[in-house]
Amino acid sequence: MILFKSIIKGDYLQRTRSYAFLVTLAISLYLAYTFLPAADANYSTVKIGNYVGENNATWIGYVTAIMTSIFLSLIGFYLVNNSIKKDIETEVGMIIATTQISNFKYLLSKMLSNFLVLLTITGIVFAMGIILFFVRSNGADFNIVQFVLPYLLTTLPAIFFIAAFAIVSEVFLGRWLALHYMSFFFLFGIITANILPGGGSTLKMILDPFGVKVVTMGMESFVQQHFDAKATVSSIGFNFSAKKELKTFVFNGMPWPALYIVSRLIWVALSVALVFIASLFFNRFDAKAVIKVKKKKKNLTENLPAGNLLQDIKIAALPAISTDYGILPFIKTELLMLFRKGPKWFWVLNIGGMIALLFTTLNIAHQFVLPALWFLQVGRLSDLTTKEKTNRIHYFTYASYKPIERLLPSQIIAGIILMAGLALPLMVRYLAGGEFMPVIYLLAGAIFIVLLAAALGILTGGKKLFEILFFAITYTNLNSIPFADYFGALNNSSAYLSLMLLMISGLIITGFTIRKYEIRHL
């Protein structure tokens, strides 16, 4: 039990002291602030037909709770899905493998650590919701019960499930990072499709791990009974619509069905059961269990004739050594590493995405296919400038000839070539139609996302922060939110291009300045 608690405590402290956690916390605070639009805001978050609730404690509690269930699940998975991998990289796992702790207890401790990390962020969002009540309410009394209930019944089971799913994905999908992200991406899409506007049913309520469907059904029922019989939940998220079109109503809560409460307990039990099943397949850090041992090649000298081989070597006949201080060999090497990273069959998806860029309509290809295709490269870009530290060879690379002028630019250029190459079919279509500006926007987007990966990797020394931000950006892109558009799908003005160039310049200065400082103070 002491070791069990120590793993939870150590893992929790390690995560909460990371850059990724601090940035995720900052993003969560900002999102919590935006969950409840101001009176003059040009968007709404939860809307039933043309109705939104007045800012009393009940409405604020319900809205912030269901929005936290969705968005913290979205971001939180990418924050906590590397707990086992961290033990492998730090070789702590080998020490744990020699102890008496069982696989189930170890994985359960990791899951509880994940849950505590997400619970900490939830607590901060909860506090922000209370602050918003006193800032934006109209003098109504603070009903603590109605404010807390949706968090207990909706948010907590949701993040508990996400904490467990992160562990399960690590056990079954192993080191294939892209598969982790793809599996969660599709799972999240299926879940949100269930809770998005549409008819409600008992089955949908039970099958919703986020617990949002029952809340939207209760809001719909309240508005239909008192205001508009045809009103349905028309948005959950950030809906940019004219504020003058919306009407307000007083929401005082809803009855929580007993079946729903039981279903939330079942989701918690199911999460623990999934971790138990995963423990049966966990290799307990035994590399031989997951790596196929290849037969060693025969010694090349076995079939050579006996004698002193060195006497037969004529140094004068060897080709002259030529020193190349250029950047092209580095670019070639970095490109090869990018292409060879991950499973080979993964390129089937990339090629399929490029074909989709070629044959789908321009609007669909640019706005939906391209960001999804680029996001599939998150595993390649995330360690673009951190793989030296991960493999502990940065002492050699930093001591090489002009690493700032040769190594770092080659990594960035290789990444840009990869991303621009994937978008090439779309560029060709635009050029064939005589449209040149979209091509410039696409190139600017490729440069921006690669520089973002490079700068964040150098700044934090890891890849987790970029992975979280890249997923959040991609999600907002797929939901057609303009402010996150970095490749010109929704914004095509000169002001947008100027802003992109400004951000690109800032990322270049940040990345090169910090890397130069690291090399000088190695």
What pLDDT digit, counting tens, does each position of 134-160 carry? 887 777 788 899 899 999 999 999 999
Q: Per this entry, what is the length of the chain? A: 522
Quote the CA–CA distance of 191 and 265 in Å, as a whole number: 18
Q: 189 or 509, which is more confident?
A: 509
- Which residue type does 294 have? K
Quote the CA–CA distance of 264 and 164 in Å, as a whole number: 15
pLDDT digits 0-9 by tens, 457-505: 998 888 888 888 898 888 888 877 788 889 988 888 888 889 999 999 9
Say what percent of the chain tops pLDDT 90. Answer: 34
pLDDT at 424 over 90: yes
Quote the CA–CA distance of 443 and 6 in Å, as a whole number: 48
pLDDT at 309 over 70: no
pLDDT at 34 over 60: yes
Band of residue 291 on the pLDDT scale cut at 50, 70, 90: very low
pLDDT at 305 over 60: no
Mean pLDDT of 169-178: 80
Angle at Cα 422 formed by Cα 420 and Cα 428, nearest 5°? 75
pLDDT digits 0-9 by tens, 74-126: 888 888 888 888 888 777 878 888 888 888 999 999 999 999 999 999 999 99
pLDDT at 265 over 80: yes
Quote the CA–CA distance of 251 and 54 in Å, as a whole number: 7
Cα R_g (the chain), whole angstroms = 27
pLDDT at 293 over 50: no
Band of residue 310 on the pLDDT scale cut at 50, 70, 90: low
Q: 196 or 72, which is more confident?
A: 72
Mean pLDDT of 312-333: 80
Quote the CA–CA distance of 467 and 381 in Å, as a whole number: 9
Q: Which residue has the tokens 């309520």?
A: 205
- For residue 123, give both structure tokens: 């607590």
Say what percent of the chain tops pLDDT 70. Answer: 89
Quote the CA–CA distance of 122 and 119 in Å, as a whole number: 5
- Would you state the torsion angle of the CA atoms of residues 52, 56, 62, 67, taken in this order, to the nearest 10 degrees? 70
pLDDT at 290 over 60: no
Name the residue among 516, 330, 515, 305 with its Cα closest to residue 415: 330
- For residue 390, give both structure tokens: 């991960």
Band of residue 15 on the pLDDT scale cut at 50, 70, 90: confident
Band of residue 298 on the pLDDT scale cut at 50, 70, 90: very low
Mean pLDDT of 232-248: 66
pLDDT for 295: 44
Mean pLDDT of 286-303: 49
Mean pLDDT, all residues of the chain = 84
- For residue 234, give both structure tokens: 């028309």
pLDDT digits 0-9 by tens, 434-467: 999 999 999 999 999 999 999 999 988 888 888 8
Ramachandran angles phi, psi of 47, nearest 5°: -135, 130
Q: What is the DSSP string of 463-477?
A: SHHHHHHHHHHHHHH
Mean pLDDT of 5-15: 87
pLDDT for 447: 96
pLDDT at 296 over 70: no
Mean pLDDT of 2-25: 84
